[in-house]
Amino acid sequence: MENKIREIIAEELNIAIEKVIPGASLEHDLHIDSLDIVDIVIALEEEFDIDIKDKDAEKWVTVADVVKCVKEYK
């Protein structure tokens, strides 16, 4: 599941998956803005058939946070 989440993030940002490591900061390392977060949330929701609450997505700081959140919804 973690690899699929990393793949989705890399695909949505159009970056190499090697950059999408657990400790990578979404804002500082991957340069994600609020529109990117929306796109990632939608892609994750579609892939895993879940409904991520905005308040949960707002707490994401690192890739590991995204993975943890998706796992909690599954």
Residue 70 is encoded by which pair of tokens? Answer: 């998706």
Q: Which domain, by its residues, includes 19?
A: 2-73
Task: Tell me if residue 39 is catalytic.
Answer: no
**Per-residue pLDDT tens over the stretch 29-57:** 999 999 999 999 999 999 999 999 999 99
C-alpha distance from residue 5 to each of 9, 37, 48 (Å): 6, 13, 9
Report the domain count for the chain: 1
Residue in 60, 50, 66, 57 with CA at minimum distance from that of residue 7: 66
Among the residues of the chain, which ranges form H helices?
2-13, 34-48, 54-57, 63-73
Q: What is the pLDDT of residues 6-37, one digit of tens each?
A: 999 999 999 999 999 999 999 999 999 999 99
Q: How far apart are CA 36 and CA 42, in angstroms?
A: 10
Catalytic residue, from 29, 33, 39, 56: name it: 33
CATH classification at residue 44:
1.10.1200.10
